[in-house]
Amino acid sequence: MPSASGSNRSQRTSLHAYLSDVIRGRNCGPGSLLVRALLRVASFAYAPVVGIRNRWYDHCRCTQATAAIPVISVGNLTAGGTGKTPMIAWLAGRLGRVQPPIRVAILSRGYRAPAGGPNDEALELAAALPHVPHVQNPDRVAGVRAAIQQHASQLILLDDGFQHRRLARDLDIVLLDALDPFGGGHLLPRGLLREPPAGLCRADVVGLSRSDLVSGEARAAIRQRVAAWAPQALWLELAHGPQCLESTSQAPCPVAALAQQNVVAFCGIGNPDAFRRTLEQLGYQLVGFREFPDHHAYGRAELDELAEWAESCGAAAVVCTVKDLVKIRLGTLGSVPLWSLRVSMVVREGQTELDRLLEQLVQRVRRDKIA
């Protein structure tokens, strides 16, 4: 018999899936129309709060704290996954290869982190970047001080920092998901926008993630809209490049190892549709797919249920994201092998110009060190 906690988790997951379908217009029943109307009313209350806050920071710069070292922010306009973690990893790798080397640290809020421990994104980044310190602190200003004092950091990568305006930054990178760049055109909670798209005027760089999943015409249309709000911003086109399949019990293997095989997949990320499309593009025969809320903590009952589901589907493997596997830490679900798909950010357009901006900050680090 399922435990009470397992039943509650299942109910929360079902509610999340229902609201996701309602917000994205995939559920059009009479009840869903009413829910959308109520969410829209709530977004009317959210909008002035966002507007007042942004105007305050726009006109009262003295309220911002300036770090003693350069800060690069990676953020987004929408709630949900746009590829911030792969972009942070790409930047850390790029900056880690400069000579002579500089000391880079990652700073994040630590959203949904267990008490005293790292959250799923920190675990994912630690696996990819074991030598890059990661400071988690809801007070990002205090986090910068900790990075400098504890790790002698010379440059900060601020994860999910676009709306965190208390800490000034030297380079603001904003990511838009090509599959839903403007969050359905509505502010939270009716849509997925954290703030109106006009906020892009603050961006130094706008990157279109998953740009390979839409047509050239769609990319051009998004770029034209962005240019109306942020004509000064460098434009990037990005893609999530599948690297390998990873397991907690087996050596990594090529992504092609599961091509044309029956697999089931699940994920607890901000954009599950993009994960599904990536698996389909790899030639995986998806016989089942399940979505969980972003940052979902998997309970024992849920894992048992996933194992039963995978076995009943006759799947050769279960595939999840690295963000999921770092929390689950199992090599199999029941008798079915469990793999995570590791992806890395690929810059398809704009890399030369981005490297130039990064080099300017690296040179500043070196000048400050000499001084």
Question: pLDDT tens across 158-197, in order?
Answer: 999 999 999 999 999 999 999 999 999 999 999 999 999 9
Banded pLDDT at 13 (limits 50, 70, 90) = low
Nearest-angstrom CA–CA distance, 62 and 44: 29
**Domains of the chain, first to last:** 9-42 (no CATH), 64-240+346-370 (3.40.50.300), 242-343 (3.40.50)
Supply the pTM of this predicted model.
Answer: 0.91
Banded pLDDT at 371 (limits 50, 70, 90) = low
User: Phi, psi (5° rounding) for residue 37?
Assistant: -65, -40
Banded pLDDT at 1 (limits 50, 70, 90) = very low
Banded pLDDT at 60 (limits 50, 70, 90) = confident
User: Phi, psi (5° rounding) for residue 55?
Assistant: -65, -35
**DSSP E strand stretches across 94-170:** 104-108, 134-136, 155-159
For the segment 249-280, what is each residue's pLDDT rounded down to a tens digit? 999 999 999 999 999 999 999 889 999 999 99
Supply the pLDDT for residue 111.
84
For the segment 273-303, what is each residue's pLDDT rounded down to a tens digit? 999 999 999 999 999 999 999 999 999 999 9
Please report which residue ranges of 24-132 form alpha helices under DSSP H: 30-59, 84-96, 120-128
